[in-house]
A and B are shown apart, each in its own frame.
Chain A
């Protein structure tokens, strides 16, 4: 819900990751994931809608490029957490997104949850609950493009594209070519004093 006056926002916006930056940090995360998992065995990437899913697809492509035995499509899924949120009665109604499991399922797999911004940690809490209803992974890890701090739950990311110290009044806005108009890749901070 963008209620900020676009002109005002543009004036106050500051780009923290450009398109090239995003590609670079995703490449790094892809390699970190492979390294932490000691290869591609049993690896599954579950993106959290909306922007976590395209990020998961991009990561899967990079992983598959590094390890051609892995089929990017076969190891990527989408995990909708809407129904598991703790704020359903306090936010405008959110229509749920479909949940799509990779062909191999998640039982016994190492599931990497992928999201764009890690903030309070509540989305990831919901994602963990959602995941448990779908099966029993061997391990669950978390990869995020940006960690902006202000955690409200004991949750941390295993793989972080960029740590971004922010004030609570600021807004971190991620735009991806797959999900946003205008179709650009960038991360900006808005509402900076």
Chain B
């Protein structure tokens, strides 16, 4: 693995390897000294063209726990907002000696451009691009689900996958990079996925995706999912008339108290509720649901650091992972 751009092109072996490594990393987070020297002397740049404090601090914590030097480059208020091109930014980062670039960008495919254009030789980690993918979010979701699934089966999670697990992903699938990354990864790991959304918020051609599609959250709950992932609703979608009102959306596709109680009635004691955050309480998820023991929101956040440590470690170790180090070696 040279880059982490999407979960669509992540093999089963690579996915398991990242999740297993993340398990080892998770142990570090529970220690007094939460630091490993693995990436000492390596430079990780967080290149954020979109604001996302959560994702940035998660990557920052991950890189720092591995002893990397971290440079945060927020495109807002910088030369980028004054029209500097992605190419110039990339070449600047290359000149600074970045070993890895964690990029968040509003344009789908910007990380792939960075990785494949030859402008910079660093490892590229996609931290969310447009409406394309958000692979580390999917990995942390899968990590959270795998721990839950392994625990239910009384096995250690190391080396296991999600075979037999049924996951419902609910909300704005059309614009969600999380939904895409989740779907590909969960399928790779053997889970069954149902996408639940209003028809206007499903992508054209969704019939060809490897999943079930439902317009009804209630009907989907009757199919006894093991995990329900609620996606954030972007209020601005309303202006494009994807749905009539926020209230109507919430009634039909929100995880409200009635649906929370329905899980109990159905005897789904082990069904968990995931949300990538930040949550719109009372819109796609009720406060009671968000605070219930089923919700894994906080576990997802801490698992995010472990998964990102794993990704950074796997991308930045190994032969040829550093141009400069290789040159030093040949000079010896």
Residue numbers of A with Cβ under 8 A of B are: 80, 82-84, 88-99, 129, 133-135
Q: How far is the CA of A105 from the CA of B171 in the complex (A)?
A: 47
**6 residue pairs, one from A and one from B, having the closest CB atoms:** A93-B318, A83-B36, A83-B38, A96-B24, A88-B317, A133-B33
Q: How far is the CA of A133 from the CA of B326 in the complex (A)?
A: 29
Residue of A nearest to B322 (CB): A89
Residue pairs across A and B with Cβ atoms less than 8 A apart, 22 shown, are A83-B66, A83-B313, A84-B36, A84-B37, A84-B38, A88-B38, A89-B318, A89-B322, A90-B319, A90-B325, A90-B329, A93-B321, A94-B317, A95-B24, A96-B21, A98-B23, A98-B27, A129-B37, A133-B33, A133-B35, A134-B31, A135-B32
Q: How far is the CA of A91 from the CA of B24 in the complex (A)?
A: 20
Q: If the complex has contacts A89-B325, A90-B325, are A95 and B318 also in contact, measured as CB distance less than 8 A? A: no
Q: Encode contact with A along B298-332: 1 for CB under 8 Å, 0 otherwise.
A: 00000000000000011011110110011001000
Measured CB to CB, the closest approach of chain A to B41, in angstroms, equals 9
Complex contact B318–A91 (CB within 8 A): yes
- Chain A-chain B contacts (Cβ-Cβ < 8 Å), number: 58
Is there a chain A Cβ closer than 8 Å to B17's Cβ?
yes
Complex contact B319–A91 (CB within 8 A): yes
Residue numbers of B with Cβ under 8 A of A are: 17, 20-21, 23-25, 27, 31-33, 35-38, 66, 158, 313-314, 316-319, 321-322, 325-326, 329
Q: How far is the CA of A88 from the CA of B314 in the complex (A)?
A: 10
Residue of B nearest to A80 (CB): B24
Overall SS of chain A's interface? loop
Contacts of A88 in B (CB 8 A): 38, 317-318, 321
Contacts of A90 in B (CB 8 A): 319, 325, 329
Residue of A nearest to B1 (CB): A93
Contacts of A129 in B (CB 8 A): 37
Report which of A83, A84, A92, A98 forms a contact with B158, defined as CB distance below 8 A. A98
Report which of A84, A91, A93, A133 forms a contact with B314, defined as CB distance below 8 A. A93
Report which of A83, A94, A96, A134 forms a contact with B37, defined as CB distance below 8 A. A83
Contacts of B17 in A (CB 8 A): 95
Q: If the complex has contacts A133-B31, A133-B33, are A95 and B21 also in contact, measured as CB distance less than 8 A? A: yes
Measured CB to CB, the closest approach of chain B to A123, in angstroms, equals 14
